[in-house]
Amino acid sequence: MDSDKARLLLIEEIDVLCELDHPNAIRLEEIYESDSIIYLVQELCHGGELFDGLDIQEDYHYSENEARELVKQILSAVSYLHCQSIVHRDMKLENFLFTTKDYKSSTLKMIDFELSKHFKKKVHWP
For the entire predicted model, the pTM comes to 0.87
**Nearest to 13, CA basis, from 1, 93, 46:** 1
**For range 93-108, the mean pLDDT:** 93
**Nearest to 43, CA basis, from 29, 56, 57:** 29
Catalytically active residues are 90
The 10s digit of each residue's pLDDT in 17-33 is 999 999 999 999 999 99
Distance CA 42, CA 60 (A): 30
Looking from the CA of 66 toward its CB, the CA atoms found within 13 Å total 14
Instruction: Give the burial string for 42-81 (b: 16+ CB within 10 Å, else e).
Output: eeebebbbbeebeeeeeeeebeeeeeeebeebbebbbebb
Where does the pLDDT of residue 61 fall: very low under 50, low under 70, confident under 90, or very high at 90 and above?
A: confident
Cα-flanking dihedrals φ and ψ of residue 84, to 5°? -90, 5
Domains and CATH numbers, the chain: 4-118 (1.10.510.10)
